[in-house]
Structure 1
Amino acid sequence: MSTEVGGVGCGALVLGGTVSGVDAVLAELVKRGHGLVTRSLVEQVVPEWTLQRACTNGELVRVLPEVFAAAHLLKNQSTPPLTRIDPVLARRAVAAWMRGRGALSHLTALDLWGLRRQLPGDLLHVSTPAGSGLRSWPGVRVHRRRHLTLAPPSTVVRQGLPVTTIERALVDSWPMLPLAEQRTPMISAVSNRLTTPGRLQAALDATARVAGRVALRTLLNRLAEGCRSPLEIWGHERVFTGPGMPAFQRQVQVRLGRRNVYLDLYAEPERVNIELDGATTHGDPRQREIDLRRDAQLAALGILVVRFAHRRLVREPEAVRQETLAILASRRPT
């Protein structure tokens, strides 16, 4: 195991009271591994009984087959050892255990992609080709993928660890997420331009079984239509479509000085931009000032900006709809 395995510091490891030469070597290996060490590495430099004694004395704990962690890094909980260490260290332990036979996936991959944090104690997920020999272990679940290849484009390296692609991670995680959280990582990934609705759709099409496929496909359709937030999706489905509404363009890019801005809903013939302000935007004075300057710059281009707050949109959808229709009608030439 290289010194890159880890991520949580490990202090000096005292083995067996008095530190012999071989004990000092083992302690140094654990320190270099930032709290982790593998059996194969230990056996290259010290006798196997040194590792056995460290475990017997309670100084090292086996967290996975052939992978050990410094005992002081484990939290005192009645859960599997792997779930009792910091998630960053746990992922590196899993990578050391896999030895190139799999990649971190599902909810664990979402964490590595920065889309949803895994908490201490959460189950870690690994995807592996059939026949790899990896088996689920307390604290880690192994998913077998018949056509998975452990190289780009199927897997990539992030933070020094093998991980499935962002599209695969999002589709695989969809059934595992609580209903109230399902859409958030997908929307964030598209909004931050980490992926596209088309690439996500391709990943879904390549997956034979996905619980909640219909709801996921509907979300991908909304993202493909330009929606970039739960509020925009809600407005699209309940307010800004139907009789009398124009075919709004979504996320239209407009150049303002040295920067580009994106319009939530744009009716080009009427030159009206509908902006949907989220619940967190309303009380932020700094964001309000930015919005006002942006609106003034758009007005100079002849574009009228109409803003609807989250509270009004969800509580008065019909009033918002009628107001929008009236504004659009007033902008049309007579």
Structure 2
Amino acid sequence: MHRRQGLTLEAPHVVVRRGLTVTRLEQTLVDSWPMLLPSERRAPVIRAVNDRLTTPERLEAALRNVPKLDDRAAFRTLLTRLAGGCRSPLEIWGHEHVFTGPGMPAFRRQARVRVGRRTMYLDLFAERERVNIELDGATTHGDPRQREVDLRRDALLATIGILVVRFAHRRLVYEADDVRRETLTILARWAAAAG
């Protein structure tokens, strides 16, 4: 528990869920930020956005109500990454350490692509080069069934001329410079082939 100046137990500060008066999710996420260990702060925010329970914009509005929040800059950076299309800690890490900077294109994050009746979202899409970079987290993409899903998806994207390049968590974290060089080489070759 902590105190919040100006909080009233009525709209817009609270909502009623199953007969209980509760603070809004956005404000709860902002208020709980300094109470969590730094290593645990981002996960609830990422999950709430990914599960479409809130948006980075609504979280930003709630953040404005707490001007003296501990580690406010980190919260704002997280919201910027989420608004830009990053959807996991690995994607955020890749954005900050590998896929931005000199020579890198302005990737479209979570680019929506339709192939026939199927809609897919691409982690990082270099439109001009028609290259999709997928960042494969250790937990989800280590499963053989998920690997099969990934291969079928990659083959489907190849039918419309999109090359899929996958980087595993381990390589992204421990071989970031190599991944960056490989990405730039692939993009240059595909741009030359397309042009």
TM-score, length of structure 1 as denominator length: 0.55
**Where does residue 132 of structure 2 map in the other structure?**
273
Whole-Å Cα distance in 1 between the matches of residues 145 and 11 of structure 2? 42
- Pick aligned residue for 1:287 from 146, 152, 161: 146
**Counterpart amino acid of residue 188 in structure 1:** R
- Given the superposition, is the C-alpha separation of residues 160 and 294 from structure 1 closer, same or farther in structure 2, using an over 3 Å criterion? farther
* Bigger shift: residues 148-157 or 285-294: 148-157
**Counterpart amino acid of residue 92 in structure 2:** I
Whole-Å Cα distance in 1 between the matches of residues 115 and 40 of structure 2? 34
- Pick aligned residue for 1:171 from 26, 30, 47: 30
Report the CA distance between 1:191 and its aligned residue: 1.5
Identity of aligned residues (%): 69
After superposition, residues 242-257 of structure 1 pair within 5 angstroms as 242-257=101-116
**Where does residue 172 of structure 2 map in the other structure?**
313
Whether 2:76 is the aligned partner of 1:184: answer: no
Report the CA distance between 1:222 and its aligned residue: 1.2
Whole-Å Cα distance in 2 between the matches of residues 291 and 157 of structure 1? 41
Report the CA distance between 1:153 and its aligned residue: 3.2
Kept in 1, the 8 Å contact 2:130–2:161? The answer is yes
Whether 2:102 is the aligned partner of 1:237: answer: no
**Counterpart amino acid of residue 153 in structure 2:** R
Unaligned runs of 5+ in 1: 1-140
**Where does residue 161 of structure 1 map in the other structure?**
20
* 3-state DSSP of counterpart to 2:138: coil
Report the CA distance between 1:189 and its aligned residue: 1.0
Higher helix share: 2
Report the CA distance between 1:144 and its aligned residue: 3.5
Report the CA distance between 1:282 and its aligned residue: 3.4
Larger Rg: 1
Task: Give the count of matched residue pairs.
Answer: 193
* Bigger shift: residues 158-167 or 223-232: 158-167
**Where does residue 7 of structure 2 map in the other structure?**
148
Whether 2:145 is the aligned partner of 1:297: answer: no
Deviation sequence 1:101-152 (CA, Å, 0-9, x none): xxxxxxxxxxxxxxxxxxxxxxxxxxxxxxxxxxxxxxxx3x3433333334
Whether 2:63 is the aligned partner of 1:204: answer: yes
Whole-Å Cα distance in 1 between the matches of residues 110 and 141 of structure 2? 21
**Counterpart amino acid of residue 123 in structure 2:** D
Whole-Å Cα distance in 2 between the matches of residues 262 and 254 of structure 1? 6
Whole-Å Cα distance in 2 between the matches of residues 158 and 257 of structure 1? 40
Unaligned runs of 5+ in 2: none
- Given the superposition, is the C-alpha separation of residues 255 and 160 from structure 1 closer, same or farther in structure 2, using an over 3 Å criterion? farther
Report the CA distance between 1:184 and its aligned residue: 0.3
